[in-house]
Amino acid sequence: MKPIRKMSPKLNRRMRPKLSRMMNPKLNLSHSYHIDSFSIPDSPVVRDLGLLTDPKLKFHAHITRTVNLSLLSLLSHSLEKPLRLYSRKVLQRCNISFSSYPHRLEILNLVSLRHRRLKSQLLLLYNLISGATYFPHLNYHVKISQSPRRPMTLFCCHPSIPDFFASTIPIWNAITTNVPQFLPPSKFETLLNSSITRF
């Protein structure tokens, strides 16, 4: 607890309850939280003021997340570069005015590579859930809601693990949140086409 005492009084009062529970297991009551009978796993990392801190007061999780997001942004920009150049050249040759990359895609009726990849991920997740594509021990990774109001809501069993399910399920739930029934493949793809550009 010495690192906590060295903090400023104001920050000390704010962080002490969180860090005390992380660093001293006896103070952690380990409450079990559930959503629709599915248990929410505990996380060893605390998020406060946008910073991720582990029990050793290290910022490895925060640094790793920041680096991964920056690399993903650079990769996405590199992959989009050919389509950016193509859309600009086409509209310039046709003497059509444009303002931005999304505007050029709208004029040409195209979809960005990022949204195409996201749509492919969501379609793959749909095939896994519906049984059209086999995935061993799927119930270990994702659970389907039993709620009659939101039958397409999914629960990620291990949200702290940065894998396909942890990154795709939140977007899936945001798109299907108001769907009253489990959609067939054609209607689900129509829903994706109308909603994918929001992400």
Q: Are 169 and 139 in contact (CB under 8 A)?
A: no
Residue 54: which of 64, 68, 39, 67 has the closest Cα? 64
- Assess if residue 48 is contained within a domain: no
Please report the pLDDT score of residue 100 as a whole number.
Answer: 85
- Assess if residue 21 is contained within a domain: no
Pairing of strands 38-40, 154-156: unpaired
- Assess if residue 13 is contained within a domain: no
Secondary structure letter of residue 145 according to DSSP: -
pLDDT tens sequence across 41-80 = 777 777 777 777 777 777 777 777 677 666 555 666 677 8
- Assess if residue 22 is contained within a domain: no
Backbone conformation region of residue 86, classed left if phi is above 0, alpha if psi is from -120 to 50, else beta: alpha
| Structural domain of 135 | 112-199
Taking the CB of residue 97, how many other CB atoms lie within 10 A of it?
8
Q: How many CA atoms lie within 13 A of 139 on its CB side?
A: 1
- Assess if residue 4 is contained within a domain: no
How far, in Å, CA of 102 to CA of 85, rounded? 13
- Assess if residue 180 is contained within a domain: yes
Please report the pLDDT score of residue 117 as a whole number.
Answer: 86
What six digits make up the tokens of 9? 């009084």
- Assess if residue 177 is contained within a domain: yes
Give every residue of the chain whose pLDDT is below 50, as ranges. Answer: 1-7, 10-11, 15
Q: Is 34 helix (H, G, I), strand (E, B) or coil?
A: strand
Domain count, the chain: 1
Please report the pLDDT score of residue 154 as a whole number.
Answer: 93
